[in-house]
Every structure is written in structure tokens, then in C-alpha cells.
Chain A
């Protein structure tokens, strides 16, 4: 079992829709959770961090964490073509472990 698992996609949503990206992790001792966005050919950019159960909202982005289910998700509301990228889930206990990413395409 991979330590951090994500659906590789590709995930396609129409412009204006909600994109839902999911991630599960295996280490119950994980303490902090992150979402990075990576445009093609570029380096990852941190977009959300979450440390406790529940939801955290930042603009059009909402991160959701459920430690009992070992599940973290990212919702993107009112998706825009500029949101088209690969989204990496990262989980931190001591060192950060990255998922392989989900490729999102927002169709105009």
C-alpha cells in the first residue's frame, strides 16, 4: 500500500463546476496535510494546509480532513480553466510524503 494515494485522473470538469480531489494516507500518526498545485513544466506551489479535522476554506478552495478515515480532500468551487493542473497531496509526520498527483482539466 502506498503511503499517500490519489486517483491519477485525469479528472475533467466543466468551467464553473466544483472539482473534488481526494487523498488517503496510511500513517495514523500524520499531523499535517497539504495540497500543492503543479502546472505543467513548473514546480509545485503550496495552496492549502490543514492540521485539524473539519473544513478549511480559502477563497474558492476548501480542504477537508477526516483523521479517523485517514482521508483528506480538496474542493475547488467555480472551477476555472486556469485551475487546470496536477494537484499533489502531501502528508507530514516528520518528513513530508507526496502522493503521485491528480491531473485536473477544467473545460471552457
Chain B
């Protein structure tokens, strides 16, 4: 089955710890994205990547880091510098056409709670 997987589904973190969220896709999409969603809010873009070994900051990149060593994988690290990391994290992917990114498909999400 083609799709996007994220793990873990739930993650609990103590203050001061770094945690890494996994995202894998087998849709052969070039572009991948990380969003944060807070209760009752829309999606805010953290980072995105169009090609392997290249990624760009989104609107709220501070306190987060990413890597893109493989086309299929785009892990997100939430660092201790992120002041309020409790949120629902969504990974997405899309194909790319010229300078445009096409419709995005989402993974099931990871719910991060800081204790």
C-alpha cells in the first residue's frame, strides 16, 4: 500500500529532552513537509524539503531541526529550545511540478506531550 507513515503515534517528553519524530513515504514524492497543529488551530509549516539533502524553514522553524538523507524519509527533531512543543505534528508529501508543489497527502500524525 502506498502512503505515509509516522511514528510514534503518541510521544511523551520531559522538559529539556530532544525527541525525534519519524516520517516515511513510499509515494515516490519529491517534496515532504512538517506541520504543527495546536487545538482548534490550523496547520503551521515548520520545515519542508523539495529534494534530498536540501530543506527550507517554514513559518515556525525555531526549536526544530530536520534532515533529508533519503527521498523516502524526513525526520523531525524537537529540541529543548522549543518552548511549547506540546502539539499534534503532521508530516505530508507531494509531487513537484516545475516551481509548484502539488496537493499534499498527510500521514496519521504524532501527538507530542511535554510532561
A interface residues (Cβ-Cβ under 8 A, vs B): 8, 31-32, 34, 42-46, 49, 88, 90, 92-96, 98-101
Contact residues on B (Cβ < 8 Å of other chain), bracket: 10 to 19
* B109 at interface by CB-CB < 8 Å: yes
Let me know if B106 and A44 touch, CB within 8 A. Answer: yes
* B48 at interface by CB-CB < 8 Å: yes
Let me know if B42 and A100 touch, CB within 8 A. Answer: yes
Chain B residues within an 8 Å CB radius of A92: 100-103
Let me know if B103 and A34 touch, CB within 8 A. Answer: yes
Q: Tell me, in angstroms, the Cα distance from A31 to B94 when the chains sit together.
A: 16
Let me know if B90 and A44 touch, CB within 8 A. Answer: yes
One of A8, A43, A49, A99 near B106 (C-beta < 8 A): A43
Q: Tell me, in angstroms, the Cα distance from A42 to B109 when the chains sit together.
A: 7
| Cβ contacts B96-115/A at 8 Å (1 or 0 each) | 00011111111111000000
Let me know if A45 and B42 touch, CB within 8 A. Answer: no
Let me know if B106 and A95 touch, CB within 8 A. Answer: no
B interface residues (Cβ-Cβ under 8 A, vs A): 40-43, 45, 48, 90, 94, 99-109
Q: Tell me, in angstroms, the Cα distance from A34 to B108 when the chains sit together.
A: 19
One of A49, A96, A100 near B41 (C-beta < 8 A): A100
Q: Tell me, in angstroms, the Cα distance from A43 to B99 when the chains sit together.
A: 26
Q: Tell me, in angstroms, the Cα distance from A101 to B105 when the chains sit together.
A: 17
Let me know if A101 and B108 touch, CB within 8 A. Answer: no
One of A31, A34, A46, A88 near B43 (C-beta < 8 A): A88
Further pairs besides A42-B108, A90-B104: 10, Cβ < 8 Å: A32-B100, A43-B108, A46-B103, A88-B42, A88-B43, A92-B101, A94-B100, A94-B101, A99-B42, A101-B42
